[in-house]
Each structure stands twice: as structure tokens, then as C-alpha cells.
Structure 1
Amino acid sequence: MDKLVLFNRKTCNSLLKKRTGESKFGQHIQTLTSISNIYEQLENLDVTYVILGLPEDVGVFANHGKTGASKTWEAFITTLLNIQSNRFYNANRILLLGHLDFSEEQDQMAKLNQSRKKDVLKSRKIVEQIDKQVTHIIYQIVLAGKTPIIIGGGHNNAYGNIKGTSLAYGKPINAINFDAHTDFRAEEGRHSGNGFSYALSEGFLNKYFVFGLHENYTSDQILDTFENSENLDYNTYEALEVKNELKFKKELKRASAFVSENKFGLEIDCDAIENIPSSALTPSGFSVNKVRYFVNYFAKNEHVAYLHICEGIANKKKSNHVAKLITYLVTDFIKER
């Protein structure tokens, strides 16, 4: 637990922008005061959700992607704390745990050159260390009976989310991924593009559905893998939104039937959303309202084990824009649970 940095009330108060007659989210959320015995504290705390930040983008770097997702957690927190606390949800049922401090790993990455194969391999070794930290904290949160809400960071952290949750339940879990990519690349060393393939091969993931896959960025090899496995399924963005071969609501039901007979993780990659700064920004993607509907739909399912939102980049020009988007998705999830 040496990487966990608790979010404290003093920091919370410094970020709050109070107004007379208003009650802000940050005035009512819960925090921990001690870093020791995290599991016992969580188990005894009367909360439903635990919000955790994973401010890193080593996994993105290791997958030859655009870095920047490490800054998103900080922007998100300021936005989240300052939304209204009102009748639509109970902020008292939410613990803002804090974040895992990956500054050392980020510094190591900064010394590497993405164009050098040896350096990329080194970064993939760093991701393995990140995996261990993510797995451990997610395991404790789920074992304590709470629902993690994880803000990334890279999509490499899907592996730790799945493994930690699987270990807590003592069996493999399922996952649905709202994403332009499968993140099911070869097991060539850990990075943001193979969290799900590693989780499946190691027995932590059972069934996996990719919602809104982009046809232009998926190889025949991966398509063959999906189409020849009873445990893998997908639909494409083009079939849903361009060619209108599939209906969005019907596909929600089909995807739900595929994953929800068991505990499942809900994964949201910002690169599936049109014009949202991410590690793989797309000019053609789902609208923000579509992804909000998606989160709302799956949040109602009793078997959803966690929510993970990743790959968004809160850059200088659109920091507030991305932070607001993630805040909407988090509160949509909370409101329907």
C-alpha cells in the first residue's frame, strides 16, 4: 500500500468553491484519515462507492500511444467536488479514497524513447509493477464489499481491475468495454493494448464484450480470435451508427445478456467518444449522450462490479471539458445504483 495517497479533508476544502445557499458534493463525501488497515476501514465504513485515481500513462507509452492521461485525475477531482449535492444522489455514501502515486514510474518513463525497442520493452516491465499495485488495492476494495470507481490513466489498468475483482470474488469475472479498440493484442509484454487478453489467458476474465469497435482499426487476426471464441463478442461502431445494421438499444440488451449472468466490470475508454482528447482521439465516435446512456443502462444491473473510465487527456485547452465529461459519467453511474 506504499503507493496509496489518501485524499484528505484539508485538500478537499482548498478545492471547494462554496456559494451561499448551495451544498457542494465535496462537503459531504467521506475520506479516510489513516493509511493503515485499509481493508478493515473500508469494511466498517458505511459507503457504497470508493473513488480511486490511477494517474499514469506508462501503459499508453508502452503501446506507442499518446501520453497525457496521467493529468486527468487532478482535473477531475476539482470538477467533481464542486458539483451540487442534491436529492438525485447521496454523497455521504461515497468515499474519495485517493490515488496511487506513480510519479516514480512516470519519471522512469520520461527517460525512455518511444522509438527505441529496448526502451519500449523497459516501459512494459514498469507496467507489470503498476499492475501489482492496481490489483492489490482493487482486491481490497471489492473484498470489503464496496464498488470501485476508477479514474485513469491508461487502459492497461483494466488488467488490474479485473484481476483484483476476480481474486476478491474467488472466480473469473466478465467485462464489457465501450471502446474503439479491443485492447486484446498479443501477450508481448504489458501495455494499454492487451489488458483483456492477459486477463483472459490467466483465468481472471471469462466473457468479454467490446461495444462499438472501429472497423478501420481492428486486424483480421483479432476479429478471427473473437469470432472463434464463445467467450468473446463484439459489435462495431459502423454497424451501429453508420450503416444502421444494428440498433443501439437492442445491442445493449444483447451485450448485457452476454456478460451479466456473472459479476462484470464496466470499462469506458474515452477514445470511443467523438472529439474527446484521448490517447487515440477520434473525429468519428459516439456522442457524449450515447455514452451516458450506456453507463446509465449498465449501472442498473446488480452484477456490475466496478466502473473504470480511462484514456481521457485533460490538456490545457480542454481540461475542464474532459473533467466535466468524466464527472457526468461517474454521477450517472452513482445515480442508477
Structure 2
Amino acid sequence: MEPDQILQLHTRITSWFADNARRLPWREPDCGAWGILVSEVMLQQTPVVRVLPVWQEWMERWPEPGALAAEASGEAVRAWGRLGYPRRALRLHAAATAIVADHGGKVPDTYARLLTLPGVGDYTAAAVAAFAFGRRETVVDTNIRRVHARLVTGNALPSQSLTAAEMRLAVSLLPVDDAGSVAWNAAVMELGALVCTARSPRCDDCPVQADCAWVRAGRPEPHYVPKGQSWHGTDRQVRGALMAVLREAEGPVLRELLLTGPVDLVAPEADAALGPLAALHALAAPPEQLERALDGLLRDGLAELSDAGVRLPA
């Protein structure tokens, strides 16, 4: 695209964002870098509506990295609730611990230093550097990739995984000034989340519909069929049900109780887990799947096994 065309895209999309952006707590001026880091980790593969209440609870309980680092990692997993992919809670706890140990309790303010935190990858480092510290970084998430794919390349969807070509395109579209680049990253991300959605895009509400290569091409079908993630009957579902039991339990839960479920094996301190336990065994998962799911939680550090039973990590 020509420089003047790119400049027009910058103007139209950031102007649209100024008028239409959702008011979210991690976008407020008084939200510090820690709140932004927590939001970016929580928002990975999880919609805003589910993240909001959990993020607010986390920030009330752990307003600074040191507050989270001072607690057991299992408390982070417990507070993660049903957001899914609970290893993210462990990563946040590990990042908070590293921030306290290596950075004086302050979130690092550059992409390179953010990358040194446990569990922080390219996307998260770029997003926090941009949105918390105003750095010029190329932020590329699924929403941004989809907008770029339709607007510039004419494809209905981006590649199934991030490619070097997509990164080059994102870099070429990024404004040269820091403030403009931050606004652009946020605006394109929001456009993809609200208008240029994967299914049923609202093209008539798009500020750059007239410039969109995909629209001009007649809105062709995707060049591949996206595969939805299954849930019912999967190990992921069983893992989630096991985690629900451990989150509710006030102490260790007997391994036999998790795998077979006879009520007479319940330790007194595990009474609170009986509801989730019933839900777990209502799945009627075969014993080998229960074993496999529990072993996976232990291996991933999401649970610990002792003579007293299974519990969240200490």
C-alpha cells in the first residue's frame, strides 16, 4: 500500500476507535502496568465478558505483583476460577515472583525485559510495552491478524498460525510515532473484536469498508475450514471438572475420591467439594481418562499429591 493510503487507514480506524471503544478498566489512565499485564494474560483465548469479573477480583486482592507473589501459587489457581487454561494463573504467579525478585516489584518497561518474565511471550511483551508504557511495538493478536488479512490481502481469515509474512505486514502498517502506534494497535484490535469478527462481520459499520480488499473481492470464503475446539467428553473437560473440585476443597481430596467418587471416602475438610465432585462423576468419564487427566494436572503443577490427598499447589 502507498504511504498516503496507510495514513488514511490510520486516521479512519483510530477515529473510529475514539468514538466506539469499549470502556474497560485496564484501559483507564489509572490502571498500572501490573493490571495491564494481568488483563493481557487473562484475555488470551478468553472473551472480555468472562475476564472482567475475575480481573476485578484479582486486582482487589492483588493490586501489586508483590501481593500475589506473597501467596501460594495454588491461591492464584483457585482465584482463576473457570477462565480456562489455568496454567496461565501459574505463569502470572511466577511472573509476579520474578518481578519482585529481579525488578524491585515493578513490571519491566521494555519488550526485551518483559520477555525475561516466566510465561511472557512475544505477544504479551509487545502488548504490555505498548499499552502500559507507550512503546512502539508491533502487537499482533488474532483480531489484528484478521483485520490485516481482510483489509490488505483479501483473505477471509489469517493463516492458521502466525507467519513471517503477517509480521512483515503488521510492521509495515505500524505508525512511526510512539503515540500513534499505541493507538493503532488498540484500534485495530478493537475493530477485529467488535466489527471485523470471525463470523458474521459487520462490514456496514466498518470505517474502512471502502478500502477492504476482501469486500472488493466479493467476500470470498476462507481458504481453509477453521476447526472448532471440542469440549464434551474430552480430557480438557475432565481436567476442568477436577480443577473445580480442588478449587472448592478446603484441604486435600483423597485421590480415590477423585477417581471413583464413593462418598464414604470424603475427608471432613473436603465437604465443600461435594457439589463439584458430583458434577465430575456425572461426566461418567472412564477410569483411564480420569487417571490421565489427573496425572496431567500433577505434571503441569496445577495440583500436588501427598499422603493426605490431592490439592492445589502450595
Q: Normalized per residue, which structure has more strand?
A: 1
TM-score normalised by length of structure 2: 0.24
- Bigger RCO of structures 1 and 2 (CA < 8 A, at least 6 apart): 1
Q: TM-score, normalised by structure 1?
A: 0.23
Name the one with the larger helix percent: 2
Determine which structure has more spread, i.e. the larger CA radius of gyration.
2
